[in-house]
Amino acid sequence: MFGLAVHETLHMHEETKERATNEARINFKKDQALRHWVASHGGVYVPVDAQTPPSKYLSNEPERDIQTPSGRHLTLMNPAYVVRQMSELYAELYGIGGHITSLKLLRPENAADDWEKKALESLAQKGSEVKEFTNIKGEPFLRFMQPMLITQPCLKCHGHQGYKVGDIRGGVSVSIPMAEYLAREGHERLTHLIAYVLLWFTGLTIIWLGGRKLLYSMQERDQAHEELLKYKHYLEETVESRTVELTAANQKLKYLSLTDGLTNIANRRYFDELIHKEWQRALRKASPIALIMVDIDYFKLFNDSYGHQSGDECLKKVAMALNVEMKRSGDFVARYGGEEFAVVLPDTELAGALAIAENMSRNVANLQIEHADSDVSDHVTISLGVTSVIPVQNLDVGCLVQQADKALYAAKEQGRNQIRFFSSKALAGKRACETPK
């Protein structure tokens, strides 16, 4: 019960932080929408007053200040001017502060505070949002900042600073007061605590009532105790025996479902499961993954000449000759179908995969399995297609298999008993299907 209460408390606190972060993101998007709207219209004209004097940073604009036919004096506000005034008003009305700032200031009044300087430095390095729960004048706040990117209209005022479209000009800092959020969290925590106390009290009451009932039946229980112990022992032995049998049966069933019955190596189902897992792991780590597709040369002719029993023996020996090169725990070879095998090598670049492929070709040749009908040798040989890639987000594992399969096809088309490979370092767009070497 205590552990559950602690878990709920931590969960509520994380939800509080997430709600505050979402509000900060919404405020940032609101500011950006307003900025883009003003920029799309080339600025907006408003009446001149004490709060909105003509901007000295727009003094080079020939139409910064205009007068209407009725005599009203209007001044031009650019996106930064509009967002700044709106942020100040929003902070006054709702307590949520907003601040446009940069490490390359055009307006000194926009200078960053200590937290914002660190956030801007982080944005310059990583380009993603920065947030921290901290205090401002003793009050809890969420400090949040996202980058502000240069668009074409921005160059009108900031082009002389050396910016280009797409550069990070600075950031929009949002300060969310946490007092209301924390108060709501405290109320929810108290409600949950009361519920847990009631549940705990109810449980104790049920236990107490049950205990009284047990006391009343003590005599009958004592009389039946010995018989129940014997029966319990019998049940435990039966359950243990059945559990052992079921565990062994399940392990055997799993082994059979993932193992090729002829060669005793992984089957196609196991290959499909494992290569997807290894692909995702390589994608997360940005590490290479290699695939070797293997085909026994002229195997149909071997079967026709020597019989299917000899063909089965050949498959077993070739499988073992390939499997002996699996040195690491993550490497595995699977029977892909018929006389075709697939070898998956995580964390392996092309050079390493080619070395293993050469060893496999040599191992099979050293078996010296007679094959009089082969057009490339008097003994059994193999053709191999090799590829090694670093996965990227926009493609799946099917493209890796396609590369290796096309390399194998090239090896067979160019005479068999050889190795062909793809040289691409990473999958990207249509380069996945370039010509094998």
Domain boundaries, the chain: 2-43+78-183, 268-433
pLDDT above 90: residue 267: yes
Residue 31 and residue 98 in contact, taking contact as beta carbons nearer than 8 Å? yes
CA distance 192 to 198: 10
For 366-409, what is each residue's pLDDT tens digit? 999 999 999 999 999 999 999 999 999 888 899 999 999 999 99
pLDDT digits (tens, 9 = 90+) for 137-151: 889 988 888 887 766
pTM for this prediction: 0.45
> Could you tell me whether strands 168-177 and 97-101 are parallel, antiparallel, or unpaired per DSSP bridges?
antiparallel
> Which pLDDT tens digit goes with each residue over 179-226?
888 889 888 888 888 888 888 888 888 988 888 888 877 777 777 778
Distance CA 217, CA 299 (A): 78
- Mind listing the pLDDT tens digit for each residue in 84-118? 888 888 888 888 888 788 777 767 777 888 888 88
**How far, in Å, are 113, 145, 301 from residue 19 at the CA level?**
25, 16, 69
CA atoms of 293 and 336, how far apart (whole Å) = 9
Q: Hey, what long-range contacts does 370-376 have (CB within 8 A, 24 or more apart)?
A: 370/306, 371/297, 371/298, 371/301, 371/302, 372/305, 373/298, 373/301, 373/302, 373/304, 373/305, 374/297, 374/298, 374/301, 374/302, 375/298, 375/416, 376/297, 376/298, 376/415, 376/416, 376/417
Give the span between the Cα atoms of 192 and 65, in whole angstroms. 60
Q: What is the mean pLDDT of the chain?
A: 85
Reference 149, options 179, 176, 128; nearest CA is 128
DSSP-derived 3-state class of residue 66: strand
Q: Which tokens go with 333?
A: 């070879």
Under 8 Å between Cβ of 43 and 154: no
Kindly state the DSSP code that residue 58 receives in the 8-state scheme. Answer: G
pLDDT tens per residue, range 1-20 = 677 767 777 888 888 889 88
Q: Which amino acid is at 412?
A: K
Residue whose structure tokens are 């668009």: 151
Alpha-carbon distances of 24 from 20, 78, 168, 354, rounded to whole Å: 6, 24, 19, 52
Q: What pLDDT score does 158 carry?
A: 60
Report the share of the chain in percent with pLDDT over 90.
40
Report the C-alpha gap between 386 and 408 in whole angstroms.
7
Helices (H) then strands (E): counts for the chain: 11, 12
Provide mean pLDDT across the span 34-55.
88
pLDDT in tens, 56-74: 888 888 888 999 999 899 9
Cα gap 271→342, rounded to integer Å: 8
Residues 272, 335 contacting (CB under 8 angstroms): no
User: In the prediction, which pLDDT does 27 show?
Assistant: 85
Q: Which of 62-76, 114-128, 243-257 has the lowest mean pLDDT?
A: 243-257
Tokens matching residue 177? 């007061």
Which one-letter DSSP state was computed for residue 370? Answer: B
pLDDT tens by residue, 421-430: 986 544 444 4
Superfamily of domain 2-43+78-183: PAS domain (3.30.450.20)
- Is 268-433 a domain of CATH 3.30.750.24? no
